[in-house]
Homo-oligomer: A and B are copies of this chain.
Amino acid sequence: MIQNDRLRDIFAKALLARSFEARLIKLTAEGFLPPLLHPGAGQEVAQIAALSALKRDDPVLYSHRGVAYMIARGTSLSAMIADMAGRAGGTNNGKGGIMHVVDLPNGIYGESGTLGGGLVVSVGMGMALRRRDPGRVVVHFFGDGASNRGTFHEALNWAAVQKLPCIYICENNGWAVSVPTSVSTAVENIADRAAGYGIPGVVVDGADPDAVMAAVANAARRARAGEGPSLIEIKATRLLGHYAADPQDYRADAASVAQRDPLAALRRRVIELGLLDEAEIEAMTAAHEAEIDLAVEAVKAAPPLDADQAFTDLYA
């Protein structure tokens, strides 16, 4: 069982991620931000729990679903908004928007915009860690849909046969845009694919942060000990559309899905455990909103990126 202060921290970060993302969506609807965010609502608790089982500087390649990975690591909110808004103060100078947030001190190593592209990159990161920085581990998040890319197979085989310090976390939310996992994927559990690489494959409930943390901690221990990679499948819940304005016509459970919100469950739990009460959570939420307000204001006050930034950062 997760210690109470850890659980409280996971909850607080997930709450911040939810509020922050809601604000981004609002700013998108208002036209201040471009509509390029894939909301992570429903998946934050597991994402944050997973990262809380690692060290702060263990490198992360994140998935496109949401911003909780960055929140978990403490990336500046205003920097992320600036990335989306094309203002000064972002992390990637307008090059990558919210898809390519980078924050090396906090171990955020960005993302491949082509799904599955990060899987192969992570293998090399593992090689380098083993050689230059033994004991560190790289973690790569990706979706169930991306697990059908050939890169999944190549990367897991290679990482396994060379026993690289890599953790592969598949967030199976049942959908790839409008395509249900059952239509695209021949197995129910992506974790079963671990058998093809002789590595551990475990399934955990994305609403159960204890289970997620335990699985990742175990994978990290293995990886740090030179025993190679692990595949962890998180059964996740995509509460919203593929992107914020997705009408989700294809989705029968669109209305009912909110009842499966892991953050709501965690909220009940922290209250039950007496870690926080409703009033404290409200205060926390208000503090988050204030923090977000500040970040938004900072970005609105920042100058737009110089358009000539289009020409920088290509060659070292």
> Chain A: residues with CB nearer than 8 A to chain B?
148-154, 156-158, 160-161, 183-188, 192-193, 195-199
What separation, in Å, do the CA atoms of A198 and B197 have in the docked complex? Answer: 15
Do B193 and A196 have beta carbons less than 8 Å apart? yes
Closest to A191 in B: B196
The residues of B that contact A148 with a CB separation of less than 8 Å are 153-154, 157-158
User: Contact check: which of B150, B184, B198 meets A153 at CB < 8 Å?
Assistant: B150
Q: A153 vs B157: C-alpha distance in the bound complex, in angstroms?
A: 11
Could you jot down 10 A-B contacts, CB within 8 Å?
A: A150-B151, A150-B152, A150-B153, A152-B153, A156-B186, A161-B185, A186-B196, A186-B199, A187-B196, A195-B196
Task: List chain B residues, Cβ under 8 A from A149.
Answer: 150, 153-154
Closest chain B CB from A174 CB (angstroms): 15
A1 to B154, CA, bound (A): 38
Name the contact of A185 in the complex, choosing from B157, B192, B195 (C-beta under 8 A): B157
Contact A187 B197, CB 8 Å, known A150-B153, A150-B154 = yes
State A190–B188 Cα separation when bound (angstroms): 21
CA distance A154 to B156 in the complex (A): 14
**Residue from A151, A153, A158, A186 whose CB has the most chain B CB atoms within 10 Å:** A186
Enumerate chain B residues within 8 angstroms of A152, measured Cβ to Cβ. 150, 153
Chain B nearest CB from A167 CB (Å) reads 16
In the assembled complex, the Cα of A184 lies from the Cα of B7 at a distance in Å of: 41
Q: What residues on B are CB-neighbors of A150 within 8 Å? A: 149-154
**How far is A160 from B188 in the complex, measured between Cα atoms in Å?**
12
Question: Which listed residue (B157, B187, B198) contacts A198, Cβ 8 A?
Answer: B187
How far does the alpha carbon of A212 sit from the alpha carbon of B183 in the complex, in Å? 32
Closest to A155 in B: B150
**In the complex the two chains form, what is the Cα distance from A160 to B148 in whole Å?**
12
| Bound Cα distance A196, B192 (Å) | 6
Bound CA–CA A152/B149 (angstroms): 10
Query: Shortest beta-carbon distance, A45 to chain B, in Å?
Result: 28
Greatest chain B CB density within 10 A among A151, A154, A156, A192 is at A154
Chain B residues with CB under 8 A of A184: 161
Q: Determine the chain B residues whose CB is within 8 A of the CB of A196 once the complex forms.
A: 186-187, 192-193, 195-196
Residue of B nearest to A186 (CB): B160
**Sample of 17 further A-B pairs with CB below 8 A, known A150-B151, A187-B195, A193-B195:** A148-B153, A148-B157, A149-B153, A150-B152, A153-B153, A153-B154, A157-B186, A161-B184, A161-B186, A186-B196, A186-B197, A186-B198, A187-B197, A188-B198, A192-B195, A195-B195, A196-B196
